[in-house]
Structure 1
Amino acid sequence: MGVHDCCDGFNFAIFSRHAERVELLIFEDPADQHPLWALDLDPAQHRTGDIWHALAEGVRWGQAYAYRVHGPLAPEAGHRFDADARLLDPYARAVAGRGGAGVPPGDGRCLLLRSRFDWQGTQRPRTLWSDTVIYESHVRGLTVHPSSASRHPGTFLGVIDRIPYLRELGVTAIELMPVQAFHRGDAGRHNYWGYDTLAFFAPEPAYAAHAAPGSVIDEFKTLVRELHRNGLEVILDVVFNHTAEGDERGPLFSFRGLDNAIYYLLGADRRRYENFSGCGNTLNCSHPVVRDFIIDCLRYWAAEMQVDGFRFDLASILGRDREGRLMADAPLLERIAEDPILRDVKLIAEAWDAGGAYQVGRFPGVRWAEWNGRFRDDVRRFWRGDAGMTGAFASRLCGSADLYQHSGKAPLNSVNFVTCHDGFTLNDLVSYARKHNEANGEGNRDGADENFSMNHGVEGPTIDAAIDAGRLRQIKNLLATLLLARGVPMLLGGDEFRRSQAGNNNPWCQDNALSWYDWRLVEENGEVLRFVRGLIALRQRHPCLRNDAFYRAEELDWFGPQGHAPDWDGPTRAFGCRVRECAEPGMLCLLFNASDRPADFHLPDAPWRLEADTGQAPPGDICALDDLRPLPDRQRYALAAGSLAVLSHL
């Protein structure tokens, strides 16, 4: 499938079962309006089964191509062929359209490019799940702000400029929001996030630093190579649940004009699309042709582009059958997990979709890690002070055995997070009681309404030092919980220096300072940055926090402030835990107080030293290894209201 150099010419191959005629168009230059020549594919010579193909001589690297596909325009039968449209090849490795307009609907160009690249002997880091700390970010947003001082702002090469920062922070992987070529929206709203894919094999051309056709491929590979050289993995956020073509009123780029009835889930009324994605259409992931396409695409990014893992947006859709029902043993999910080329890549599912599926803890297959939305919600609610959350919070802290253990999974199947791109930033989570999405142009109706957030007395920014101190302490509580919990922690990029989106919890169309990383905040909020670095270091020096098994009952001693057993479902919001499993460098004692009063804890009798206390000012909030000192009282510890502490055994 796609295009391949066969020495005596280029072989072109594309799928269409219901097409009546296919034309291959070759353009001398991607910007040309008229093709250099057109090859009418004769079904007798150029069709094998459902594959239309031709070996074309005289074609050169640097040229462009597209298809015109003739067939019935019969929406009632599911067919939407348009012979006037120039369609993208679903297997195209690169597409034209670096400018702000992107790829115009119905007039796409695919680029013919060499794929040679010097990897300079770099190897994948192959970081164990147990050692993984993920940093979720956006390619453009990371470096496009003038404060980044990047040599190539807003591009793949710009991300390279931030590698020293990522290493110093201590993360092991960067998870990039969509980098596959996407539709940038209409003139009204710009699609900043990139969740409207139009060419799944092609990197987004707007993320190239140089204008030369196809430079984006080399630049993406350069980014991967330099990340690997520095021990960092790259995980891609991929969107195989829908495409940029939307519903029946949407633009035409590729799949709809090639074979609409095969590529999409259609309703009983074949003119309409099933919409489990919330974006207008749903890919027909249960069809063998679509499954092969997705597997081929993943193999390409893993083998040719050398990426280390994938996070699957709305992954539950990949497990729906042709009637839209969830399958217990979905063939595509099993194929991805068992594919021999993909066996060593990380697989992360967003285990829900817009059709009502919520499979956290029940996503098929033990190879799949999941975004643990329950962790996010329960941790937020506990620290907000909601009643009855102590037991749920303890379960999330211990790896969510209640969600994963029954199906033979482990804590490492849980990707823990408190914030992600979809929702409030951490700073906004503690600064806003409600969303503020007016700038999106939808009357503040978009985005989640229930965020389990709190503003500490004032909505938005404040000059009140006491309120800001409370927010800062809560930020530390949430970050510490994330790094202390068993499972795989994921940080939202910028949370470590209090990046804000002014209360917008759905800035998908905000390609401006609202979404960009303002690196001046690194100095302004250096206290939080230092705290995160210290937390990651603390996690690394205590293997029990990273163990790939659930705690056994004999490894944990739970207690309330007075030493009695905690009231898991009652109003108590202060409790402690001694972790016996920590052999090196010693036992841990974790203390939590989400109440509005100080808690005087009776400790298990042992020589303890303080590692972290969010209720203390620096440097007591997070202690470097060389600064650990014994507690003056080995049996009691006073913990401030709304704080947590980490003690370790001498």
Structure 2
Amino acid sequence: MPIETKRYMILLEGNEYPIIMPNIYSTEKFEKEFTYSGSDLGATYTPENYNVPEGSYSTDPYNGAVRVSEMKQMVKTLHDNQISVIMDVVYNHVYNASDFCVNQIVPGYFSRVDADGKYSNGSDCGNDTASERSMVRKYIVDSVKYWADEYHIDGFRFDLVGLIDTETINEVVTEVHKTHPDVIFYGEGWTMDTAVTKDGYKMTTQPNSTDVPGFAFFSDTLRDALKGHVFYTTRKGYVSGAADLADTVKGCFLGQADDWCTTPSQSINYASCHDNMTLLDRITKSTPGASKEDHIRMNNLSAAIYMTAQGIPFLQAGEEMLRAKIDASGDFVENSYNSPDSVNSIKWDTLEDEAYQNVYNYYKGLIAFRKAHAALRLTNAADVHANITSVDGLDENVLAFRINGGVNGETSDGIFVIFNPNKAETSVALPDGAWDVCVNADHAGTGALTTVADSVSVEPISAMVLVKKK
């Protein structure tokens, strides 16, 4: 038996909307079936109850109190173990626009509708959220604040934030930072076609990064430069031998990706994430004739670049142990949302293999080195420009950078970084003084592997990072 409803007209932002209100005294339970008419992607990514913890992992998903308490216990336990929690939030669309609760109450208000009366579909999930409308904006701001206040979430990763307007994102950042100043915000700033319902609004895209200074963006510029364009999986990248990407990598290393990023604090630097192929799979697909040893060198060179670049490093879980996603037929799985655990699980037993263990330790060493050297974590373009110099006169495709000591609390007298993607060894002249090699083709960390002066030879397909000896 359906719940009884009443129909009203309300005035919102100068327009009248019909609203359908349920009889709140009705206690009749009912079930509702519907068929989603959007894309397959939308059917698997199903934001519906934005402020309710997912029940799949709860011991009693049918008891809301259990969902809430267990979610809070999980966050607290992670915090007790010095692990921060970032939540992936998907405010850009809903599972089914026609059935979404707000659109049921105020038809057509929560979602964007185009000139033909159809739901805008920039998300490719059947609908786009009309964040530019005041009450939708309030809902999003209140929702993010709720997760920060009640669950102590440390950061928010916005899915397809290019469909959310800049005013909404700025209000989210401002309001959350009033009580949680250390919460971080970043997301996918791709430029997408969406039918905005009000004039004068910009979307939170990479080209509009200066309009949202407290928000960072995934740098697909660096991602595609390192391993090859994400949509052309046989195309090589800088680490796998492409000859025309050194300048792009150079700009990204300086925190100035293409023409969209003006400050390193807004660049999320990465080579792989949950989308598309893993780093190793992508490298292997584009270089089928290369040896496993060279594939590992390409993987580690990618990591060394984004771990030492100005900006915010990000890596996919398992990349540090050469994670692969391969199905039973031996094919690489690019979109594994509906794949079994045999594809998606992290293969911890690979660490019993010396080659995998070495990669794992290499990543640990890169992370330790970055944490130990504040000059790798500059927060504005002026400091980068004043303290990092790109070295000229090197072999083709080889990059090198001299980083000043003392800046931003850096305790060393200087850092020198070299990237050699070529299949041949390269020689690079060093600035005056003695230099400790902390990162080379096989090892990474904060201690000196060897000490050199005048010049240094860098192995094929590898990075070298040196610290000036005091």
Task: Say which SS state the counterpart of residue 280 (structure 1) adopts.
Answer: coil
Amino acid in structure 2 at the alignment position of 1:645: M
Q: 1:518 to 1:260 in 2, by over 3 A?
A: farther
Separation (CA, whole Å) in 2 of partners of 1:405 and 1:268: 33
Separation (CA, whole Å) in 1 of partners of 2:100 and 2:253: 46
Query: What pairs with 1:513-592 in structure 2 (closer than 5 Å)?
Result: 513-524=342-353, 525-550=356-381, 551-553=383-385, 555-560=387-392, 564=393, 566=394, 572-581=396-405, 583-592=410-419
Q: 1:629 to 1:264 in 2, by over 3 A?
A: same
Amino acid in structure 2 at the alignment position of 1:336: V
Partner of 1:296: 142
- The alignment's TM-score, normalised by the length of structure 2, stands at 0.82
Partner of 1:418: 271
Partner of 1:505: 334
Deviations 1:278-311 (A, max 9, x none): 1111111111121111112111101111111211
1:556 deviates by 3.3
Query: What pairs with 1:352-371 in structure 2 (closer than 5 Å)?
Result: 352-355=190-193, 359-363=205-209, 364-371=211-218
Partner of 2:467: 648
For the 8 Å contact 1:190–1:511, the answer to whether it is kept is: no
Partner of 2:234: none
Q: 1:189 to 1:428 in 2, by over 3 A?
A: same
Q: 1:318 to 1:552 in 2, by over 3 A?
A: closer
Partner of 1:172: none
Question: Bigger relative contact order, structure 1 or 2, given CA contacts below 8 A and separation 6+?
Answer: 1
Task: Say which SS state the counterpart of residue 596 (structure 1) adopts.
Answer: coil
Separation (CA, whole Å) in 1 of partners of 2:239 and 2:89: 32
1:421 deviates by 0.9
1:229 deviates by 1.9
For the 8 Å contact 1:277–1:353, the answer to whether it is kept is: no
Separation (CA, whole Å) in 1 of partners of 2:180 and 2:163: 20
Amino acid in structure 2 at the alignment position of 1:497: M
Task: Say which SS state the counterpart of residue 578 (structure 1) adopts.
Answer: strand
Q: Are residues 1:216 and 2:43 paired?
A: no
Amino acid in structure 2 at the alignment position of 1:541: A
Query: What pairs with 1:327-338 in structure 2 (closer than 5 Å)?
Result: 330-338=166-174
1:404 deviates by 5.8
Deviations 1:362-391 (A, max 9, x none): 232211111122121223332232223222
For the 8 Å contact 2:163–2:204, the answer to whether it is kept is: no
Partner of 2:457: 638
Q: 1:361 to 1:481 in 2, by over 3 A?
A: farther
Separation (CA, whole Å) in 2 of partners of 1:578 and 1:191: 47
1:314 deviates by 0.8
Which residue of 184, 188, 199 corresponds with 1:350? 188
For the 8 Å contact 1:590–1:647, the answer to whether it is kept is: yes
Deviations 1:17-46 (A, max 9, x none): 52355223666xxxxxx53xxxxxxxxxxx
Q: 1:204 to 1:611 in 2, by over 3 A?
A: same
Q: 1:21 to 1:382 in 2, by over 3 A?
A: closer
Unaligned runs of 5+ in 1: 1-14, 28-33, 36-84, 87-103, 107-182, 320-329, 433-453, 458-465
Separation (CA, whole Å) in 2 of partners of 1:522 and 1:573: 33
Separation (CA, whole Å) in 2 of partners of 1:312 and 1:475: 27
For the 8 Å contact 2:404–2:415, the answer to whether it is kept is: yes
For the 8 Å contact 1:425–1:499, the answer to whether it is kept is: yes
Which residue of 41, 46, 52 corresponds with 1:202? 52
Deviations 1:505-545 (A, max 9, x none): 22222243212222222333211111111110011111101
Separation (CA, whole Å) in 2 of partners of 1:308 and 1:331: 22
Task: Say which SS state the counterpart of residue 637 (structure 1) adopts.
Answer: strand
For the 8 Å contact 2:305–2:419, the answer to whether it is kept is: no
Which residue of 463, 467, 483 corresponds with 2:307? 483
Separation (CA, whole Å) in 2 of partners of 1:346 and 1:648: 30
1:237 deviates by 0.9
Amino acid in structure 2 at the alignment position of 1:225: K
1:549 deviates by 2.8
1:210 deviates by 4.2
Separation (CA, whole Å) in 1 of partners of 2:42 and 2:58: 17
Partner of 1:164: none
Amino acid in structure 1 at the alignment position of 2:121: N
Partner of 1:613: 440
Q: 1:529 to 1:262 in 2, by over 3 A?
A: same
Task: Say which SS state the counterpart of residue 315 (structure 2) adopts.
Answer: strand
| Count of matched residue positions in the alignment of Structure 1 and Structure 2 | 423
Partner of 2:88: 237
Separation (CA, whole Å) in 1 of partners of 2:21 and 2:305: 60
Task: Say which SS state the counterpart of residue 222 (structure 1) adopts.
Answer: helix
1:348 deviates by 0.9
For the 8 Å contact 1:360–1:373, the answer to whether it is kept is: no
1:401 deviates by 6.6
Separation (CA, whole Å) in 2 of partners of 1:262 and 1:553: 46
Unaligned runs of 5+ in 2: 1-8, 11-16, 195-202, 228-236, 327-331
Query: What pairs with 1:21-170 in structure 2 (closer than 5 Å)?
Result: 21-24=21-24, 34-35=28-29, 105=33
Partner of 2:329: none
Amino acid in structure 2 at the alignment position of 1:599: T
Partner of 2:295: 471
**Backbone CA RMSD of aligned residues:** 3.0
Q: 1:211 to 1:238 in 2, by over 3 A?
A: closer
Which residue of 240, 246, 252 corresponds with 1:396? 252
Task: Say which SS state the counterpart of residue 48 (structure 2) adopts.
Answer: strand
For the 8 Å contact 2:221–2:258, the answer to whether it is kept is: no
Separation (CA, whole Å) in 2 of partners of 1:312 and 1:553: 30
Q: Are residues 1:261 and 2:108 paired?
A: yes
Q: 1:427 to 1:585 in 2, by over 3 A?
A: same
Separation (CA, whole Å) in 2 of partners of 1:362 and 1:211: 41
Partner of 1:312: 158
Amino acid in structure 2 at the alignment position of 1:302: A
1:253 deviates by 5.2
1:395 deviates by 1.2
- The alignment's TM-score, normalised by the length of structure 1, stands at 0.60
Partner of 1:99: none
Separation (CA, whole Å) in 1 of partners of 2:20 and 2:401: 69
Task: Say which SS state the counterpart of residue 85 (structure 2) adopts.
Answer: strand
Amino acid in structure 1 at the alignment position of 2:223: R
More helix by share: 2
Partner of 2:4: none
Amino acid in structure 1 at the alignment position of 2:77: E
Separation (CA, whole Å) in 2 of partners of 1:522 and 1:191: 36
Amino acid in structure 1 at the alignment position of 2:465: V
Amino acid in structure 2 at the alignment position of 1:290: V
Deviations 1:476-510 (A, max 9, x none): 00111111011111111111111111222222222
For the 8 Å contact 1:236–1:307, the answer to whether it is kept is: yes
For the 8 Å contact 2:253–2:309, the answer to whether it is kept is: yes
Which stretch shows the higher mean deviation, 514-523 or 302-311? 514-523
1:640 deviates by 1.9
Separation (CA, whole Å) in 1 of partners of 2:347 and 2:40: 22
Amino acid in structure 2 at the alignment position of 1:512: D
Task: Say which SS state the counterpart of residue 275 (structure 1) adopts.
Answer: coil
